[in-house]
């Protein structure tokens, strides 16, 4: 994870990891089947941390705009650990299912959203005629898209000043909460 943070995905190779650990370049194969297995373990750890930060955001928000807090936390995580975020969501191409514990960890991030939606549905601040999981997926898509586009510098007009990013998070949360159609 240090290598990932320092030099991005390109800097993360098994031999460098072994060097950093002070062992021979074949030692890692005693602990991981192959490079993908190491990446899966790293991604899993990433999901654990992301889930914790989302959970924290919901808790600290109390009854006031939990979704805004979660969105902020999600974007903040992505911008703080861009290489990790990329590895979590696109490192292992297709066989995510081949790493069950990784799959579990990634589901826990969604679970935070589902729980908040259920709470808001009970409170009446979110529509009740739609499944909570489905609504959570919509929220996740919104947050994820925003985080990834910012991370990949695809919103140059937003830039990287915290205040501009904060405004963009607000707009996205407002967009999905209030809708862009006139009320």
Partner DNA sequence: ACCTGAACACCGTTCAAGT
List residues binding a copy of itself (CB under 8 A).
8-10, 86, 89-90, 93-94, 96-97, 103, 106, 124-128, 130, 133-135, 137-149, 152-158, 168, 171-172, 175-183
Q: How far is the CB of 22 from a copy of itself (least distance, A)?
A: 28
**20 scored as a contact of DNA (CB under 7 A):** no
Burial 82-109 (b: 16+ CB within 10 A, else e): bbbbbbbbebbeeeeeebeebeebbeeb
Among 5, 36, 119, 144, binds DNA (CB under 7 A): 36
Closest distance between DNA and the C-beta of residue 44, in Å?
Answer: 18
Stretch that binds DNA, among 33-41, 42-50, 84-92, 164-172 (CB under 7 A): 33-41
């Amino acid at each position: 994870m240090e290598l990932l943070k320092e030099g991005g995905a390109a800097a993360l190779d098994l031999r460098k990891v072994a060097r950093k650990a002070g062992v021979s370049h074949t030692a890692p194969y005693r602990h991981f089947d192959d490079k993908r297995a190491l990446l899966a373990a790293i991604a899993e750890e990433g999901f654990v941390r992301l889930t914790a930060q989302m959970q924290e955001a919901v808790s600290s928000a109390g009854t006031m705009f939990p979704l805004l807090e979660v969105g902020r936390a999600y974007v903040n995580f992505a911008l703080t650990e861009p290489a990790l975020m990329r590895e979590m969501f696109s490192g292992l191409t297709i066989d995510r299912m081949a790493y069950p514990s990784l799959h579990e960890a990634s589901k826990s991030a969604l679970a935070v959203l589902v729980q908040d939606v259920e709470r808001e549905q009970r409170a009446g601040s979110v529509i009740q005629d739609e499944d909570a999981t489905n609504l959570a997926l919509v929220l996740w898509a919104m947050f994820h898209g925003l985080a990834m586009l910012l991370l990949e510098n695809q919103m140059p007009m937003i830039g990287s000043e915290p205040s501009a990013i904060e405004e963009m998070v607000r707009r996205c949360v407002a967009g999905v909460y209030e809708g862009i159609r006139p009320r």
